Amino acid sequence: MDRLEDVVRERLRFAARSPVRRGVLRELGLGDADLRRLVRRKRLHHHHGHYIDGRVDAHLAVIACAAAAYPGSAVSHFSAARLAGLRVWTDARRSSAPAIDATWLTRPPTAMRNQRRPDIVVRRAGLATGDVSDRDRLSVTSVARTVVDLARELPLREAIITVDHALSLGTPVTELHSVVARQQHWPGIRNARAEIDFGDARSESVLESLARMAFATAGLPAPVLQVQFSDGFGWMPERVDFYWPRFRTVAEADGLAKYEADTPEDRRRRMRRSHRRDQRLADRGVELVHFGWEDAVATHSDLSQRLRAAFIRGTSRTTAAPTWRVAPPTPAQVA
């Protein structure tokens, strides 16, 4: 902005805090050459016919300009989830998978009909006062409204990722049910209600949420999540992902990062720690089943057969069952 007069520069800084159209900036004294130069030097973002201060986060700038292009809209669905830091996941193999990288907006029912384009998805729906909050000068659907919107939009296996994460972050399930009650006749609300009822705040990752869904789909009984065992002197530091007390079986979700490290020595140390941990768990007299991403998402996974075989072995054990408890929340979870 070094070529601009001081008065124009100050007017621009004030005006571009929110998305503005070219005509507004022309009235401030900027020419087309000035605008092109400012965009090129990243002093301004330019998206969807609007300009905004270049100091605004690039992703947020895209969303803000898209929302400005549709007056009266609220940022919603996948875009609102991203702004709130909520996990989302969709199965890329699904032919009708939504455009999660687009900007998603919700407009009042009286607005133009729903539109779908590669970079903006617009939905028409009512927005109650409690459904919308202000974030970074934007109208954004609340966490509870965002979760329910995605639960109506997505199949259970995908929506449960966001439901579990919202619950783990402290979103009261009563707030989710309140949104469901306001949408009781909306498309997809029956699925949303089932997804919320299935949600579990103790599910700590995408893989764990997918695994819970895989267990249920296979007809397995629901496990207890985040369990600690006693070694006879105190509670062991290890927390296991899933435990079936009746079958004395533990299942551990091993993400791709478990053994990743900067050096071979660090990788070996991680593997040794993992093996020792497994031995301590085995000493508690439980069956232990490890599984990974492919086991949870593959159509023809043998995970359920492996677990059923472990159930049989576990119930045949004659030693005393281990003492266990649901692990208390970590300091990060409490915070």
Residue 164 pLDDT exceeds 50: yes
In this prediction, residue 2 has a pLDDT band, given cuts at 50, 70 and 90, of: low
Residue 167 pLDDT exceeds 80: yes
Strand 103-107 to 120-124 pairing: parallel
Angle between helices 303-315 and 206-217 (to 10 degrees): 80
- Output the pLDDT for position 1: 47
The 10s digit of each residue's pLDDT in 197-223 is 999 999 999 999 999 999 999 999 999
Residue 333 pLDDT exceeds 70: no
In this prediction, residue 240 has a pLDDT band, given cuts at 50, 70 and 90, of: very high
Distance CA 43, CA 36 (A): 10
- Average pLDDT over the chain, rounded to whole? 90
Which residue type, as a one-letter code, is found at position 187?
A: P
The least confident of 121-130, 134-143, 254-263 is 254-263
Residues in the chain: 335
CB 140 within 8 A of CB 134: yes
Cα 26 vs. chain centroid, distance in angstroms? 41
In this prediction, residue 114 has a pLDDT band, given cuts at 50, 70 and 90, of: low
CB atoms within 10 A of CB 282: 12
Residue 305 pLDDT exceeds 70: yes
Give 238: exposed, middle or buried? Use CB within 10 Å, 0-12, 13-18, 19+. Answer: middle
Residue 12 pLDDT exceeds 90: no
Give me 139's structure tokens: 């109208």
Distance CA 18, CA 36 (A): 18
* Angle, CA 97 vertex, CA 303 and CA 130 arms, to 5°: 100
Which residue type, as a one-letter code, is found at position 167?
A: L
Distance CA 151, CA 168 (A): 16
In this prediction, residue 332 has a pLDDT band, given cuts at 50, 70 and 90, of: very low
Distance CA 189, CA 173 (A): 15
Residue among 19, 99, 126 at smallest CA distance from 66: 19
CB 228 within 8 A of CB 239: yes
Residue among 215, 169, 177, 172 at smallest CA distance from 195: 177
Distance CA 142, CA 134 (A): 9
CB 224 within 8 A of CB 212: no
- Reduced to 3 states (helix: H, G, I; strand: E, B; else coil), residue 283 is coil
Mean pLDDT of 60-82: 95
Residue 295 pLDDT exceeds 50: yes
Mean pLDDT of 292-296: 93
Mean pLDDT of 80-98: 91
Which residue type, as a one-letter code, is found at position 123?
A: R
Residue 53 pLDDT exceeds 50: yes
- Output the pLDDT for position 324: 96
| More confident position, 31 or 150 | 150
Mean pLDDT of 288-317: 95
Residue 259 pLDDT exceeds 90: no
DSSP-derived secondary structure for 23-34: HHHHHTT--HHH
In this prediction, residue 244 has a pLDDT band, given cuts at 50, 70 and 90, of: very high
Cβ neighbours for 132, distance < 8 A, ≥ 6 positions apart = 74, 139, 140, 141, 142, 145
Residue with tokens 């934007």: 138
Strands (E), 201-295: 224-229, 240-244, 249-253, 287-291
Which H helix or E strand runs over 171?
Answer: none
